[in-house]
Structure 1
């Protein structure tokens, strides 16, 4: 599934569409949370946390460009 998420994030990057970036970053966050709860706790810090930071950057960058 990580490959599909990576392709989706790449698609969002090359298309420049905020909605695509947000959708796939939320998917990465959810996958990281699920993996952290069911497999290894460290997945929360290696997958979910960076995705949360990237999601915040996308949201705040989009906010600045609309003003």
Structure 2
């Protein structure tokens, strides 16, 4: 379970890196109906969501380390 959790946490952090890169570039594609602050907000939300998901995945994987031995 732990290797799968680590792989999924890395994938989540990769998504956060893409959001961070989009924030630094000022958005992926600027359209007139969107403001810069909207694109910055969405990028920030993507970064925070990726960090939260990675933390939850790692916590679940670490719980499997402890509880896995009890089930055998």
Q: Which of the five TM-score ranges fits, normalised by the shorter chain?
A: 0.5 to 0.7
Task: Give the structure with higher Rg (CA).
Answer: 2
Flag the structure with more relative contact order, 1 or 2, with Cα contacts below 8 A and sequence separation at least 6.
2
The structure whose residues are more often helix, as a share, is 1
Structure 1 ranges of 4+ moved more than 2 A: 62-66
Aligned residue pairs, count: 45
Task: Indicate the RMSD between aligned Cα atoms, in angstroms.
Answer: 1.8
TM-score (norm 2): 0.50
| TM-score w.r.t. length of structure 1 | 0.53
Gapped regions of structure 2 (runs ≥ 5): 20-45
Give the gaps of 5 or more residues in structure 1.
1-20
